[in-house]
Amino acid sequence: MNINVTLLWQMVFFVIFVWFTKKFVWTPIIGVINERKTTIADGLAAAEKGQRAEEDGLKKAEEVVADAKTRATEIISRAEKHGQELVEEAKSRARTEGERIVASAQDDIQTELNKAREALRGQVGELAVEGARKILDREIDSRAHADLLDRLAAKL
């Protein structure tokens, strides 16, 4: 165990190595590590931002869907109401139409009836005259008694 000038040399080496480490090892490496740290921090922040945006989008989408649903229900109920109205309208129109048809049919019937009655009336006159001619043979002049016969026919 001899303490000698080796000690001083070791101190010189110590200073050189510490200086060298600081200048060429520590500073560049820490610089790179810090650079990576900021990169990672930025990436994480961006990821968080993206996540938040996604959440916002989802929320918005949900809102849109909910809105669409309510509107769809509204539209459906309105359509149903409209349909019912249509049905009601059709029903009432059908009813009036039916009534109108029935009425016109009754009119037709009446007209036909009248026509038939008129025809019958004419024929009855003729038949009566024919009958009377057959009974009376030539005694009765149809022209002379036409007046009488017409009056008879009108009474029918």
Partner 1 sequence: MATAGELTSGEYIRHHLTNLTFGPRADGSWGIAQSAGEVAEMGFWAVHVDSLFWSFVLGALFVWFFSRIAKRMTAGVPGTTQGFVEMIIGFVEDNVRTTFSARNDNIAPLALTVFCWIFLMNLMDLVPVDLIPWLLDKAGIHYQKVVPTTDPNVTFGMSFSVFALMIFYSFKKKGAGGFAAELTMHPFESKNIVMKILFIPINFFLEIVGLVAKPVSHSLRLFGNLYAGEMIFILISLMYGSSVILSVSGGALQFVWAVFHILVITLQAFIFMVLTIVYMDMAHSHH
Q: Which is nearer to partner 1, 23 or 91 (CB)?
A: 23
Does residue 144 belong to the site contacting partner 1 (CB under 8 A)?
A: no
Q: Which of 35, 55, 108, 141 binds partner 1 (CB under 8 A)?
A: 35
Binding to partner 1, residues 38-67 (CB under 8 A): 39
Q: How far is the CB of 47 from partner 1 (least distance, A)?
A: 18
| CA–CA separation, 136 and 131 (whole Å) | 8
Does residue 32 belong to the site contacting partner 1 (CB under 8 A)?
A: yes
**Residue type present at position 41:** A
* Summary count for the chain: helices (H), strands (E): 3, 0
C-alpha dihedral, 61 to 64 to 70 to 74, nearest 10°: -140
Instruction: Considering only the stretches 29-37, 52-60, 81-89, 145-153, report the one whose residues sit in contact with partner 1 under the rule CB under 8 A.
Output: 29-37
| CA–CA separation, 45 and 138 (whole Å) | 133
Q: How far is the CB of 28 from partner 1 (least distance, A)?
A: 4
- Collect all residues with Cβ–Cβ distance below 8 Å to 150 and sequence separation of at least 6: 125
Q: Would you tell me which residues interact with partner 1 (CB under 8 A)?
A: 1-11, 13-15, 17-18, 20-22, 24-30, 32-33, 35-36, 39
